[in-house]
Structure formats: structure tokens, C-alpha cells
Amino acid sequence: MLVAEIFQRARALGVAIPAFNIPYLPMLEAVVQAVVAQDSFALVEVARPEWIKFEAGGPAAVAAEFARWRSPDHVRLHLDHIPVIDEDGQRVDYLPIFQEALDLGYESVMVDGSRLPLEENIRATRQVVDLAHARNTPVEAELGAVLGHEAGEPPPYEVLFASGRGFTAVDEARRFVQETQCDWLSVAIGNIHGAIAVGRKDQKKVQARLNLEHLDRLAQATQIPLVLHGGSGIQQAYVLDAMRHGIVKINVGTEIRQPYEVAMKASGSVAQAQQAVYERTAWVLRDFLGIHGLRARLAAPASL
Ligand code: 13P
């Protein structure tokens, strides 16, 4: 089954598919084993910051590691955040990265033009859509400001949430989806990324909330699967509600990265760090999202 079809099924079931980030290659085996043990389904994903600021190596290294633990009924490979302008304000030569990932067999990709003005975001996203759709590959895009990856301290969370500053605008989202033909849209509705900057990446994440009325308006306006970035640390009740209101993919990074780093620091043992990732991933699937056994539900024709 193609990833696009899996997403359609998840949407019909009212569940979200988690996408686990891989900043350190040994995390990949642990994530896959946890997904298989829970008989669930997830994406494994790598974002550009994870090979620039961490130790993922690059799209080829992650694809090679993924091939070692291949289990297509349970996991697929996604290319996360390829920014047009990165978290440090630098322009990125993004098209060759997509070309490389598509050649490597990534089954879905994300272009992040969210730091650009609307027109330029539309243009850049459309370029990637043209490239990826020619290979039958779905494209995720981003509109609005999911803050947190930048080096500076973000504004106080409650101020952001109350003001709705940076939230994805409903009219822009409608137009953006029509003009870009993107398949999935990452939205800003109170979610925030875990910090990745040196000196801040070990901080405990704020327990974010979500504006579910705003999510409803975005789902209505766009009619495509919506994506929740910054999935770590959001209060559970909001995440479970969001799944019933249009969120079909939820990105989880900090939640499994920090246990890996803590265990590595304490023990120096990759095996112990992998065990920490395995346990946290299983917890996300079973206890937080409640999607153990999801593989069978996605496969069953009756679930459509
Ligand atoms: P967290 O690290 O906050 O879970 O965010 C991950 C993410 O959205 C990657 O794209």
C-alpha cells in the first residue's frame, strides 16, 4: 500500500500516524522494534537539522539504516523539514536534497517554506510538489510559524498561545493548498518544536496546548490531512482530540531524543540508549496515542 493510501485510511479511522525523528542513527533500530512489538504503524523521519546539528549523517545514511530494519507493514521512511530558509536564517539549496531523497526511495517528503512570505512559500512548495508528484510521492508543506528550532529564546508560551501569533491563517491555508497541490499541511495551532540549539536542547519542553476550534477551521478550509509538528510534550487530551479534528500525522522528536542522550551520557552504552528509545517509543504508541495494533486496523478493508 502506498503511504498516501495509508494516510487516507488513518484519516477515516480518526487516528494520527506518528513520525519519529532520527537525530542519531542507532535510534532507528529501537524505534522500528518498538513499532513492530506494538504491532502499530509509524513513519521514521529525518530532518535537515538532524544531519547538520546532530549525528544522523544525511538522507543516504538514514535510508541505509532503514533498509537494515525494513518492515513495510509497520514503518515507512519520510523526509522531514527541508527548509528553504533554515533555523539560522541561511538559504538552503533544497531541490538537490529532494532529488537525492526521491532517488533513495523516501516515500514522502516535507518542504518547509514557512519562513518565507506567502507567495514565495507557494512557489517553493509548488516546485517540490512538481518534482515529487512526478515520482508519485506525497508532499507535506508548512504554513504558519511552529517556533522552537531557532537559536534564540522564543516568546513566553502563554503569550504566544493567547495571542495566536504565528498561527496558520485560515484563508491563506485554503489558497496555499489550492495553489501548491500539497498533500499534507503542517499547521501552527499552539504547537511548538522542542529546542535543538546548543545550550537549549536539553531543556524540558513546555506542555503545549492546542486551539482545537482553529484546527477545525483549518481542516474545513483545506480538506487535506493536517500535520502536528512539535508532538513531544503536548497535553494528551489535546492530542487525542486533535486526531478527531483533522490531524493525521504527528511528529515526535524530543520525546525520544532526550532519553537517548541522557542514557548515552550516563552509561556510554549505545545498547542502553537504544533501550531508552525503545521504551519511550512504546510508551508513545501504547499509552500516549493509544495506537497499539494500528497495523491491522489500517490493513483491514472494513476500516475504510
Ligand atoms: P518535537 O521535538 O517537539 O517532538 O518536534 C518534532 C518535530 O516536529 C520534527 O519535525
The tens digit of pLDDT for each residue in 211-231 reads 999 999 999 999 999 999 999
Greater confidence (146 vs 180) lies with 180
Pairing of strands 247-252, 226-228: parallel
Residue from 111, 193, 226 whose mutation best tests the ligand 1 pocket (most atoms within 8 A of CB)? 193
What separation in Å is there between the alpha carbon of 301 and the centre of ligand 1? 32
Q: How confident is the model at residue 31 (pLDDT cuts 50, 70, 90)?
A: very high
Residue nearest to atom 5 of ligand 1 (CA): 230
Q: What is the mean pLDDT of residues 87-113?
A: 97
Mean confidence (pLDDT) of the chain:
96
Domains by residue range for the chain, with CATH: 3-299 (3.20.20.70)
**Residue of the nearest CA to atom 3 in ligand 1?**
230
The pLDDT of residue 277 is: 98
The preferred substitution site among 45, 184, 185, 251 for testing ligand 1, maximizing ligand atoms within 8 Å of CB, is: 251
Q: Give residue 85's pLDDT.
A: 97
The mean pLDDT value for 282-297 works out to 98
**Mean of the pLDDT values across residues 79-100?**
97
The reply to whether 80 belongs to the active site is: yes
Q: Which atom of ligand 1 is nearest to the CA of 148?
A: 3
In the structure, what pLDDT confidence band is assigned to residue 82 with cuts at 50, 70 and 90?
very high
CA distance linking residue 101 with residue 7, whole number of Å: 20
Look at residue 303 and tell me whether its pLDDT is greater than 60: no
Residue 135 exposed, middle or buried by CB count within 10 Å (0-12, 13-18, 19+): middle
Residue 252's pLDDT band (boundaries 50, 70, 90)? very high
Decide if 78 contacts 43 (C-beta within 8 A).
yes
Ligand 1, from 252, 255, 284: best to mutate by most atoms within 8 Å of Cβ?
252
Catalytic residue among 39, 80, 86, 112: 80
pLDDT digit string (tens) for 273-289?
999 999 999 999 999 99
For 170-185, the pLDDT digits (tens) are 999 999 999 999 999 9
Q: What is the pLDDT of residue 152?
A: 83
186 lines ligand 1 (CB under 6 A): no
Share of the chain above pLDDT 70, in %: 99
pLDDT tens-digit readout, 49-79: 999 999 999 999 999 999 999 999 999 999 9
Q: Is the CB of 83 under 6 A from ligand 1?
A: no
pLDDT at res. 165: 92
What's the pLDDT score for residue 154? 82
Ligand 1 site, residue 255, Cβ cutoff 6 A: yes
Closest CA to 264 of 277, 255, 252, 254: 277
Residue 105's pLDDT is 98
pLDDT at 304 over 70: no
Average pLDDT of 29-41?
98
Report the pLDDT averaged over residues 11-36.
Answer: 98
